[in-house]
Chains A and B, each alone.
Chain A
Amino acid sequence: MSPQRKRRSDGAITAAFSRRSRGKRSAFIPFLVAGDPSLEATPDLLRALVAGGADVIELGVAFSDPIADGPTIQRGSHRALAAGSSLSAVLGIVERHREELGVPIVLFTYYNPVHARGVETFADQAAGSGVDGVLCVDLPPDEGLRELQPALEDRGVDSIYLIAATSTRERIDRAAGASNGFVYYTARSDVTGEREDLIPTLAREVKRVRRRVRLPVAVGFGISTPRQVEEVAKVAHGVVVGSALVRLIEEDAAEPDLAARLERRVRELTAPLRD
């Protein structure tokens, strides 16, 4: 795996968002834990995401201590580790399938697996495998700008940071200033779930962020229905769906047509985003 060099502005992530914004639509960004339910199944599941309408894929790297994840993704992470998943395995999957998939891949990881490998080695291998961006859940820009981002930037890999409902204006500016490609806004956790009346609050929250951020803003907060996708798409450049897909994999893991079921679900979720 050799380092590739590409200019930041030419990043595939930026391109994917601008394609969508030209069509006045939001990007759809599904999340899976790589290796859940098995490493063998993952490539088919990734193809299903693309066939269903994914614009960017967030590929989760399983970690033993996922402090920022709810129970569904914790279980997905646990299944993946039990199935032998690891950062090495995930990089291997990206290397073999990134080109064929044709959509940008963002690694969604905790910092320790990256740190254990060494940031320079990781940056080489990520760039060489074709990883387009990296989001370290527990590496805020305060630490990330010093530790990981320079190595990624040298190799043309985007760094994506989180903005939370609790982020102060100063922190929003810091994350926005540091991110390439897009920023990921995690909405207030007490508005997640199946409530139908959450949109006014969410719209206010997202507008607060958009006023301060020039990059596209993707929003995730436990979105699980096409209706919610449609509503979120009205205010955000990108819609992230994670737990709902991990739950489908959990429930249907034993089904021989798991990938087809996943594709069908993604199609339903992206239906409101099609022309």
Chain B
Amino acid sequence: MKVRTPLSAAAREPDEGGRYGVYGGRYAPETLMAPLEELSRAWDRLRRKRTFQRRLNHLLEHYVGRPTPLYFAERLTEHLAGARVYLKREDLLHTGAHKINNALGQVLLAKEMGKTRIIAETGAGQHGVATATAAALLGLDCVVYMGEEDMRRQRLNVYRMKLLGAEVAPVDAGSQTLKDAINEAFRDWVASFADTHYVLGTVTGPEPYPRMVRQFHSVIGSEARRQLRRLAGTPDPDVAVACVGGGSNAMGLFSAFLDRPDVLLVGVEAGGRGPGLGDHAARFSGGTLGVLHGARTLVLQDEEGQVVGTHSVSAGLDYPAVGPEHVFLHEHGQIEFTSATDQEAIEGFHLLSATEGILPALESAHAIAEVTRRAPEMEPDQVILVNLSGRGDKDVESVLEYDAK
């Protein structure tokens, strides 16, 4: 059944300046323009180079653990008594989340560019751990910027990064969370790009990051499509669901279905404590057009254009802006956005743990929450595909705290 009219592949491509319609672009200080231009050129050269692709694919298969399984969640499906639910198991990847697809790709790219040092930002720590892992594997120095507040919340991941040989640099500016860590990583890069590559962790930032990060994650969608054909008898689900912080796991999944008119794509944002500004990270309901971290996109901000604080029980969704391609695709009716509150995500966490024996990351639990709302409304022969972007071991303490309240 046709649910939308897909844009042509040409209409979906960003222009030379990295703009998806009026979104995206390269809003960066002049000091960063030369390194960004260098990065765009290097990426355009390497993404077409066979030896680079072979090396990356080899590592993805033998080191990271691709392809990840597609799993029919039978007991969850029975419980919800509606559409059949399939989970794309990115949680089973080395380091425990989809983030390693991009981190490894970028660190390999950096090595090809002759860089000897890697920097990254991290919120929950998953992207930091993935980047530290890739840097250790390829023998590069690594510094990960992390807000002091996040360091307190994610002590275990801080120690993991140190074990991997990375330096974790605390950021005490602003809200001491993800956006401040990104600010600090950019500042480092301004002075260090001659020998340093900045591994940005999601599909936002200045050109070429959105299209490069998307490409590294597009393997999620292409695998899922192939696996679904075998497992469910159709390559195309009726609905594909993913959580959206910056939007990298969602873009990775959705990229395989953008030309399929019969697949409804649903992104789930963090509804936090509720709809008040500062209480959530739902950019599509509470954000306005702005320019943050190099891209024009939806931003949670006040009338004076100051970026406001966000809240989510999941640190990985706790970010005031969203990838520009998501905004573009939403504007053209290609992706629907909804949100799940902290409470709903925690319920999703418990439900998947109890019915399937899988602890999802709190980020992914937002996608599960959407499935619990949607599946019962659908027919038993219909298919929901969910990106289980990460595992929940890192969140056990947060869930324990939440449940104690």
> A: which residues have CB within 8 A of B?
63-70, 74, 78, 81, 86-88, 111-117, 137-140, 142-143, 161-168, 171, 175, 186, 189-190
Name the interface residues of B253-295: CB closer than 8 Å to any CB of A.
Answer: 288-294
Having A116-B288, A138-B27, one finds 15 other A-B pairs with CB under 8 Å, namely A63-B305, A64-B306, A67-B183, A68-B29, A74-B173, A87-B304, A116-B305, A138-B29, A138-B294, A143-B17, A164-B30, A166-B31, A175-B30, A186-B31, A190-B191
For residue B26, CB closer than 8 A to chain A, the reply is: yes
Shortest beta-carbon distance from B123 to chain A in Å: 15
Shortest beta-carbon distance from A115 to chain B in Å: 5
For residue B25, CB closer than 8 A to chain A, the reply is: yes
Per the bound structure, the CA–CA distance linking A161 and B31 in Å amounts to 12
Of chain A, the residue at the smallest CB distance from B194 is A166
For residue B299, CB closer than 8 A to chain A, the reply is: yes
Per the bound structure, the CA–CA distance linking A166 and B303 in Å amounts to 35
Per the bound structure, the CA–CA distance linking A172 and B305 in Å amounts to 29
Q: Is the interface of A mostly helix, strand, loop or mixed?
A: mixed
Please give, as numbers and ranges, the residues of chain A lying within 8 Å of B180 by CB-CB distance. Answer: 65
Most buried by A among B190, B291, B292: B291
Name the interface residues of B298-312: CB closer than 8 Å to any CB of A.
Answer: 299, 301, 303-308
Per the bound structure, the CA–CA distance linking A114 and B26 in Å amounts to 17
User: Would you call A137 and B29 a contact (CB within 8 A)?
Assistant: yes
Known contacts A68-B31, A142-B33, A143-B27; is-contact A112 B179 (Cβ 8 Å): no
For residue B235, CB closer than 8 A to chain A, the reply is: no
User: Would you call B29 and A143 a contact (CB within 8 A)?
Assistant: no
For residue B187, CB closer than 8 A to chain A, the reply is: yes
User: Would you call A139 and B27 a contact (CB within 8 A)?
Assistant: yes
Shortest beta-carbon distance from A69 to chain B in Å: 8
28 A-B contacts, Cβ less than 8 Å apart?
Answer: A63-B305, A65-B179, A65-B183, A65-B307, A67-B182, A67-B293, A68-B31, A68-B187, A74-B173, A112-B307, A113-B305, A113-B306, A115-B291, A116-B301, A117-B305, A138-B294, A140-B26, A140-B27, A140-B33, A142-B17, A162-B31, A164-B29, A164-B30, A166-B193, A168-B34, A171-B34, A186-B30, A186-B31
Known contacts A137-B29, A164-B30, A190-B191; is-contact A65 B305 (Cβ 8 Å): no
Per the bound structure, the CA–CA distance linking A70 and B306 in Å amounts to 19
User: Would you call A112 and B293 a contact (CB within 8 A)?
Assistant: no
Please give, as numbers and ranges, the residues of chain B lying within 8 Å of A112 by CB-CB distance. Answer: 290-292, 299, 301, 305, 307
User: Would you call B27 and A189 a contact (CB within 8 A)?
Assistant: no
Please give, as numbers and ranges, the residues of chain B lying within 8 Å of A162 by CB-CB distance. Answer: 29-31
For residue B35, CB closer than 8 A to chain A, the reply is: yes
Question: What are the 5 A-B residue pairs with the smallest beta carbon separation, nearest first?
Answer: A116-B305, A113-B305, A162-B30, A68-B29, A86-B304
Most buried by A among B28, B179, B289, B293: B28
Shortest beta-carbon distance from B177 to chain A in Å: 12
For residue B114, CB closer than 8 A to chain A, the reply is: no
Per the bound structure, the CA–CA distance linking A252 and B130 in Å amounts to 45
Known contacts A67-B183, A67-B293, A142-B17; is-contact A161 B30 (Cβ 8 Å): yes
User: Would you call A81 and B306 a contact (CB within 8 A)?
Assistant: yes
Shortest beta-carbon distance from A262 to chain B in Å: 25
Please give, as numbers and ranges, the residues of chain B lying within 8 Å of A163 by CB-CB distance. Answer: 30
Shortest beta-carbon distance from A214 to chain B in Å: 19
User: Would you call A189 and B305 a contact (CB within 8 A)?
Assistant: no
Of chain A, the residue at the smallest CB distance from B301 is A116
Name the interface residues of B21-50: CB closer than 8 Å to any CB of A.
Answer: 25-31, 33-35, 37
Shortest beta-carbon distance from B171 to chain A in Å: 11
User: Would you call B30 and A88 a contact (CB within 8 A)?
Assistant: no
